Amino acid sequence: MREPVKYFAFNKKTDFLRGASYNIKFLSPGIGIDDPDKGKGIFFSRLLDSGEKKTKWHRLLVDKASYTESSIRFYIFSSDSRYLEYEGREYEIGSLLTDMSIDYELKHTMLEPFMVRSCLDPEDLLLFDVEGRYLWFEIEFAPHHNSLPEI
């Protein structure tokens, strides 16, 4: 018997507004780099909760709007707990993801123990080895000359 499929979609501005972004502009639909002179753009999703521990995630589909020399890297994170400890302090991951007072590089470092996959320019990424009640992701947009990535 097949298990029921659960999914999350990020295809509206409100979906992206529930995450945290650095040098990102909202498109209709999707997101991309706001100011290429500031370098890369970073987006952290909200904490996605399947409601069940040890959930086996299925796949990530990305509709890349621009096929250019620029790049888009996805970092996939997963855990059965919504808490992490960093330098002796406990953080709730959902709050951490959307906290704009924390620099994105520090945020990435804090979340690194939960990273299960990193992929450059994915379109259809199978996640069968990704397991945990909670899933979240980081997207790094890297411009190349005047070429700007968008999804």
The per-residue pLDDT string of the chain (151 residues; one tens digit each, 9 = 90 and over) reads 566 666 677 777 888 889 999 999 988 778 989 998 898 999 999 999 999 999 998 888 887 655 566 788 999 999 999 999 999 999 999 999 999 999 999 999 999 999 999 998 888 888 888 999 999 999 999 887 777 778 8
Task: Count CA atoms within 13 Å of residue 100 on its CB side.
Answer: 9
- The pLDDT value given to residue 66: 58
Do residues 56 and 129 make contact, with C-beta atoms less than 8 angstroms apart? no
Contact yes or no for 23/42 (Cβ under 8 A): yes
Q: What is the pLDDT of residue 77?
A: 97
Between strands 124-126 and 31-33, the pairing is unpaired
| The pLDDT value given to residue 121 | 84
> What burial class does residue 73 get, using C-beta atoms within 10 Å of its C-beta: 0-12 exposed, 13-18 middle, 19+ buried?
middle
The residue type of 125 is: L
Using DSSP, state whether 10 is helix, strand or coil: coil
The pTM of this model reads: 0.89
**What does the alpha-carbon distance between residue 117 and residue 87 come to, in Å, rounded to a whole number?**
24
Dist. CA 132–CA 135, nearest whole Å: 7
104, 23 contact by CB (below 8 A): no
Burial class, 29, CB count within 10 angstroms (exposed 0-12 / middle 13-18 / buried 19+): middle
